[in-house]
Structure 1
Amino acid sequence: MLKVTNTNTNANIKSNNYITITDRTKQFAIRIIKACCFLDEKPGIYRALSKQLLRSGTSVGANVRETQSAQSDKDFIHKLEIALKEARETQYWLEILIESELVDKPKFTLLLQEANEIGKILVASTKKLKDK
């Protein structure tokens, strides 16, 4: 069950296992950084794709963190929606890498699954806040 609280000073969005979405997206960003370090070791197209993945994958958590400084409920929701857009872009780049067979499918599929889960949490959170 999701618990969403907007105090405008501390985003306290939690998932079933009580890891805040802030912590979860930070951990996800770290995993993305490590994946991009692997991609950067390879020549050519890998680096271009790595740059795109790095930007969107780390932006998810940055935007979730920004909710802690939201000036209103509307601003809070807007920042979550931006994080959702970045999560979806990250899903896209991971799908491209996997489907083009440029990367080890099992390892990158785990990242894609996490991006999908984060996206679901963000959708549920924004929906719940809008329904208030």
Structure 2
Amino acid sequence: MKDIQGRAFDFACSLVRLHRTTTATKVAAPLVSELLRFGLSIGSILEEAESIHDKADFIARCRVSLREARKTLYWLRLLDATRTIKSPR
């Protein structure tokens, strides 16, 4: 679990850096806000799961984190496809 938590934290840091460098246009601001909302929650939910002792609750929290990751992917794809922000590629 530690590896995934570290990766989620690094991803969250990347999202914060992306937010800082993104021009807040009327179109970009709400989209990036959604990206941050879901992207930052991935790691926080995994951290919360680490303290749960019940196996079923732990699995449920991990599934919620996976859902948040999928939502994050959607927002990343949308931002890239619409060229709302410049891709770092």
Give the structure-2-normalised TM-score.
Answer: 0.91
Corresponding position of 2:43? 61
For 2:72 and 2:19, how far apart are their aligned partners in 1?
A: 12
2:17 to 34, 37, 44: 34
Per-residue deviation, residues 51-106 of structure 1 (Å, max 9, x unmatched): 1011001000001111111130000000100000000000000000000012223x
2:67 to 85, 96, 109: 85
Per-residue deviation, residues 2-41 of structure 1 (Å, max 9, x unmatched): xxxxxxxxxxx26xxxxx11111001001011112222x3
The answer to which structure, 1 or 2, has the higher relative contact order (CA under 8 A, 6+ apart) is 2
SS of alignment partner, residue 43 of structure 1: coil
Runs of 4+ in 1 over 4 A off after TM superposition: none
For 1:38 and 1:48, how far apart are their aligned partners in 2?
A: 15
Structure with the largest fraction of helix: 2
Identity, in percent, stands at: 29
The structure that has the greater radius of gyration is 1
- The AA in structure 2 aligned to 1:31 is S
Give the structure-1-normalised TM-score.
Answer: 0.63
Structure 2: gaps spanning 5 or more residues: none
Count of paired positions: 89
